[in-house]
Chain A
Amino acid sequence: EVQLVQSGAEMKKPGESLTISCQGSGDTFKTYWIAWVRQMPGKGLEYMGIILPADSDTRYSPSFQGQVTISADKSVSTAYLHWSSLKASDSAIYYCASLYLGYFTAWGQGTQLIVSS
């Protein structure tokens, strides 16, 4: 099973850009789709999109298309989530998770993002 370690908490201002990361263990990382999931304060889980690090095939939830960019670098077993211009409403915890047959089988520890002026 892949192990996922995410980058640390961030505090940013509206309008700033940000990339957070999710590093997986070993060669198995390339063979699993990696998803990003948002959890706003006190709320439930929202699927954002997925990427296959082996070839960077990327799919977005319609709700997040155009709002974020998902990418990966298989040489360092890392997936990324990028915002070009943050909004206060982007404040949330963001999880990466490995996907197998439609299930999120392993999760990163989460990255908390606070966007405030």
Chain B
Amino acid sequence: EIVLTQSPGTLSLSPGERATLSCRASQSVSGNFLAWYQQKPGQAPRLLIYGASHRATGIPDRFSGSGSGTGFTLTISRLEPEDFAVYYCEHYGNSPQEFTFGPGTKVDIK
């Protein structure tokens, strides 16, 4: 069973700053099945990035994903006020079929 670890747990930044979030897998995973989600308080999660680096429909280009193997990164180039939220990484494994979420990184206003 693959375990995803996210760091830091909380990231305190100011609007306009760059955010770098990490997601590490307990074993090598296919980047094709690594995604990032954003969740704001009281809202459902929203898909940001799929296939490790592809932005979902309507996602601003200040969001970017990268990485492979056991280490993946979500970068927000310049934080906007609406970007302060919790971010989860997720992996889909097909043998056995399982969907695993990381514990999340909260990006809050410094």
Which size bracket describes the interface of B in this complex?
Answer: 20 to 34
B103 and A109 within 8 A (CB): no
Q: How far is the CB of A60 from chain B (nearest CB, A)?
A: 10
Q: Which of A95, A103, A105 contacts B44 (CB 8 A)?
A: A95
Could you say which residues of chain B place their CB within 8 Å of the CB of A104? Answer: 35, 37, 45, 47, 90, 99
Main secondary structure of the interface of B (DSSP, over half): strand
Which size bracket describes the interface of A in this complex?
Answer: 20 to 34
Say if the beta carbon of B95 comes within 8 Å of chain A.
no
Q: How far is the CB of B54 from chain A (nearest CB, A)?
A: 10
Q: Would you give the 0/1 interface string for B17-44, flagging 1 where the beta carbon is closer than 8 Å to chain A?
A: 0000000000000001101010100001
Chain B, range 38-62, C-beta contacts under 8 Å to A: 39, 44-47, 50, 56-57
